[in-house]
Amino acid sequence: MCASEAVASCARVGKFMAAKEVATQAAIQASDDGCVKVEFQNAHFSWSHEGSCSTSITSPVPMTLKDITLTLVPKTLTIVVGPVGSGKSSLVSAILGEIHQVGGTRTVAGRVAYANQEAWIQHATLQNNILFTADMHADKYDRVLSACQLKPDLAMLPDGDQTEIGERGINLSGGQKARVSLARAMYRSDAADLILLDDPLSALDVHVAGAVFRECVQGMLQDKTVVLVLNSHYHFLPHADRVVVMEDGAIVGDGSFDSIKDAFPHLMSSSDKVDASPPTHAATQPTVSAQVKGGELMTKEERRVGNVMFATYASYFSASGWNQWLVVAAIAAAYTLSQADLTMADWFMGYWAKHPGNNGSSTVTYVVLAAMAMVLVWGRSLFVLLS
């Protein structure tokens, strides 16, 4: 099992290392005037590397994004919506330069803060997951925690923001992981011109999502250029300066909410009433329980010093599912017989050396003793393993 997993892992790593590099021209350029610039003109993108900027867009390479024409206005909120698989996250990847450009023009300049659709959580404290090598500024850190609605969660964690978070956020709920990932981007928003938020609200209930939208998007990011992807919570669409509707990798709607709502009736779900009852943070509790001691997720096992107690042996033998005394008797008999046979074989070697005249019968006797010893030793070992 371990060998096959190691071979499969090496194959995946080898395939990754042998992959071609992404074109350097896809990187985000520094802005000359200090303003963010995002422009796409008839741009085509594909996740397949067979495509390139020199490849004709009529090639058989499947396009992920087709004929994208988009220019972001600085200091505005653009919300991207569409069905699952329509290309919303791919559009964000195109802005980041993480998808192969096949045709058209793409110009992106400025400093970017990004929150991925799948929250990336490292094995570290919650605070380190938010700071992520950035310097600690208490006032800004406190504002980010409040804006991302993380303070009630910190009160439930055994050591607050110093609680150790397991790999991939194993001891956090989906909503908590999303808000920790969002908080990491928010903490760097002061130094960023463009904020890309790929569906950070889908794991949140309507009340928490509303508070995060008000305090993060409309509050801390009100003077930033923001691209927000939504798969739900369409009641936020009227607050957007611009709504981009995607379908099958293409932009099928672009404009203010009032100008496109008649063409896309499903977006009118924004008019649904929202329960005015206050949010409950019970839904934000971790879905995976974890034993945490002193802020650490992984703790050392307790170890007893001294002789092994009889209760330990009794527990071990009863774990076989059979009567523990029957197991003890069977193991004792197997060890006694096998050890007696081994001793008999050793004694017979001495007897054989003193009586060399009985070579024929002595050989047969020794072979029988050795075979019996081998069977008994193998049998007792197998019995212990199975029991």
Task: Please report which confidence band the pLDDT of residue 34 belongs to, taking 50, 70 and 90 as the band edges.
Answer: low
Helix (H, G, I), strand (E, B) or coil at 121: coil
In the structure encoding, which two tokens stand for residue 142, read together? 């406190």
Of residues 57 and 176, which shows the higher confidence score?
176
Task: Please report which confidence band the pLDDT of residue 275 belongs to, taking 50, 70 and 90 as the band edges.
Answer: very low
| Residue pair 30/36 in contact by the 8 Å Cβ criterion | no
Task: Please report which confidence band the pLDDT of residue 314 belongs to, taking 50, 70 and 90 as the band edges.
Answer: confident
Task: Please report which confidence band the pLDDT of residue 264 belongs to, taking 50, 70 and 90 as the band edges.
Answer: confident
* Interior angle at CA 225, CA 70 and CA 204, nearest 5: 100
Task: Please report which confidence band the pLDDT of residue 216 belongs to, taking 50, 70 and 90 as the band edges.
Answer: very high
Of residues 111 and 378, which shows the higher confidence score?
111
Q: How far is CA 42 from CA 97, 159, 363, in A?
A: 16, 52, 91
Helix (H, G, I), strand (E, B) or coil at 84: coil
Task: Burial-class residue 51 by CB neighbours within 10 Å (0-12, 13-18, 19+).
Answer: buried
Mean pLDDT value across the chain: 80
The CA distance from 87 to 81, in Å, is: 9
**Order of strands, edge to edge, in the sheet holding 242-247?**
112-115, 194-198, 225-229, 77-81, 242-247, 250-255
- The string over 75-99, giving b where at least 16 C-beta atoms fall within 10 Å of a residue's C-beta and e elsewhere, is eebbbbbbeeebbbbbbbbbbbbeb
Of residues 381 and 293, which shows the higher confidence score?
381
The CA distance from 39 to 69, in Å, is: 8
Is pLDDT of 387 > 70?
A: no
Residues of the chain with pLDDT > 90, as a percent, come to: 36
At 276 the pLDDT is: 41
Which region holds residue 321: left if phi is over 0, alpha if psi is between -120 and 50, else beta? left
Is pLDDT of 59 > 70?
A: no
Question: Which segment of 10-14, 61-65, 182-186, 269-273 scores lowest on mean pLDDT?
Answer: 269-273
Mean pLDDT, to the nearest integer, of 38-42?
93
Task: Classify the C-alpha dihedral 114-115-116-117 as positive or negative.
Answer: negative
DSSP assignment, residue 215?
I
In this structure, how many other beta carbons lie within 10 angstroms of the beta carbon of residue 203?
A: 18
Of residues 340 and 22, which shows the higher confidence score?
340
Tokens 């069905």 map to which residue?
Answer: 83
* Interior angle at CA 265, CA 263 and CA 270, nearest 5: 125
User: Beta strand pairing status for 164-165 and 124-125?
Assistant: antiparallel
Task: Please report which confidence band the pLDDT of residue 169 belongs to, taking 50, 70 and 90 as the band edges.
Answer: confident
At 344 the pLDDT is: 80
Is pLDDT of 186 > 90?
A: yes
Is pLDDT of 282 > 70?
A: no
CATH 3.40.50.150: does it fit domain 77-273?
Answer: no
Q: Residue 312: in which H helix or E strand, if any?
A: helix 310-318
Is pLDDT of 92 > 90?
A: yes
The CA distance from 181 to 57, in Å, is: 36
Of residues 297 and 244, which shows the higher confidence score?
244
- Residue type (1 letter), 47: W
At 50 the pLDDT is: 58
Q: Across 291-295, 304-308, 346-350, which has the greatest mean pLDDT?
A: 346-350
In the structure encoding, which two tokens stand for residue 385, read together? 């393993």
The CA distance from 213 to 207, in Å, is: 10
| Residue pair 209/174 in contact by the 8 Å Cβ criterion | no
At 366 the pLDDT is: 75
| Residue pair 223/74 in contact by the 8 Å Cβ criterion | no
At 133 the pLDDT is: 85
Is pLDDT of 54 > 70?
A: no
